Amino acid sequence: FGVVRGWRTSSDELTSSLADVHRSARERDVSGAEQLSGWLPVSISPVSGAARVPSVERGPGVRHFVTEIYALRDTVADLRIGVSGPAVVSLDSAWLGEVPAVAFPAPDQLHVPLQLSAGTHHLMVSVETEPGVPCTLFARLVDSAGRRALCGRI
């Protein structure tokens, strides 16, 4: 319930810190909706709700995921994610924080509170990747109490 859909993806090499690579990609590629057209669409598993992207075989990298969320009114939501490596999350130009690596990706491992104003927002998650290991992102939106699933339009 509440699985975030509409993800698009791109990748970078991990040339500095994960936070720096995320910030650079956000400023370069996600400052406007028209720029998202250059990102590749991601399939969401109908069974698990996961976005899974094969890893490249070269050195450590970063997989960026971005989607648009539309809020009908000002609201507070909870982004629940599971990731296959350390990750950084931002909403529009606001830095939401860095999340640690977990043993394995699964739904609802980490919670990120979102304060949404009415209108369209760009949610971006950057995940550090390892060669030969698929990059996985589970993401869903629920109300601030964690009881009601929300979709891309809230």
DSSP one-letter string for 50-106: EEEEPPPSSSSEEEEEEEEEEESS-EEEEEEEEESS-EEEEETTEEEEEE---SS--
Going by pLDDT thresholds of 50, 70 and 90, the confidence category of residue 71 is confident
Going by pLDDT thresholds of 50, 70 and 90, the confidence category of residue 59 is confident
What pLDDT digit, counting tens, does each position of 6-19 carry?
898 888 888 889 99
What pTM, to 2 d.p., does this model score?
A: 0.87
Look over the chain and give the mean of its residue pLDDT values, rounded to a whole number: 84
Structure tokens at 46: 């109908």
| Average pLDDT of span 106-115 | 88
